Amino acid sequence: MKKSTPFPLGIRAGIGGWTYEPWRKNFYPPGLPQSKELGYASRQLNAIEVNGTYYSTFKPPTFAKWRDETPADFVFSLKASRFTTNRRVLAEAGESIERFTGSGISELGDKLGPLVWQFMPTKVFDAEDFEAFLALLPRKVDGLALRHVLDVRHASFMAADYLKLARKYKCATVFCDSNDYPSFADLTADFVYARLMRSQARLSSGYAPKALDIWAQAARTWADGGEPADLPRVEAKAKAGQPRDVFMFFINGAKERAPAAAMGLLQRLGFQPPSA
């Protein structure tokens, strides 16, 4: 039997959140208490994007609880508070940014992954105001280095001036596999952040097996320092560079299929879930 390729630890794949009623029918074991769902999900996947932090403020004990319920190599990506980005003048977001980053997220310790700053689909790129916002993003919190991700959702961001700014401040740009939002795979940081949004309810695996094969290969290419050849870009593909971390989340689409899609991708990469 052919041995599977060792799992590349720089690649992480997961879902958005862990509390979703349909998952109790097709992902979680029957009868599993809701209080145990994070513990179970974190042993089938190796990352989760937390959406709740976009809408609500959590306290330090909550982050510490998440940290303690998950395996050592697990990572949480946190969506920043909507009050930081849903505003006319981004340069005025300093107080909201400080409130979010100082809310206790450092309790996650080594399990603190990228922070995602999601902008409204109506937010048009304004170079001066956007740079003022990027300059407000802290590089550390309580001694922990922070990695920032920009989820820009207006076509005006598909421009060389935006890419230059994102690279200047070393912020990654979300690659969005979707027809609803701009989709461009230009790299702007030393890691990749992809949100895959085309899961289909009719497919038990969310994505077709061939599509999962393609995304698994894309993940390997990114992790090895390259760039997949067939993704849309604003600029030409860059030369291969250093190995990088890759974060891929199955979000939206047919959300009930997201866990199956994420697990299917991880299996193709040789991931072996820790025992529950």
What are the start-end ranges of the H helices in 34-81? 37-41, 52-55, 60-69
Distance CA 145, CA 47 (A): 18
Give the CA-trace dihedral at 196, 200, 201, 203, to 10 degrees: -110
Question: Residues near 36 by Cβ (< 8 Å), separated by ≥ 6?
Answer: none
Determine the Cα–Cα distance for residues 29 and 40; give it in Å rounded to an integer: 9
Chain centroid to CA 152: 13
pLDDT at 6: 46
Q: Quick one: pLDDT at residue 240?
A: 85
For residues 151 and 164, give the distance between their C-alpha atoms in angstroms, rounded to a whole number. Answer: 16
Q: What is the pLDDT of residues 188-220, one digit of tens each?
A: 999 999 999 999 999 999 999 999 999 999 999
Q: Does domain 11-268 correspond to CATH entry 3.20.20.410?
A: yes
Q: What's CA 121's distance to the chain center, in Å?
A: 18
> Which residues, given as ranges, of the chain have pLDDT below 70?
1-9, 275-276
Backbone dihedral angles phi then psi of residue 119, each to the nearest 5 degrees: -105, 155
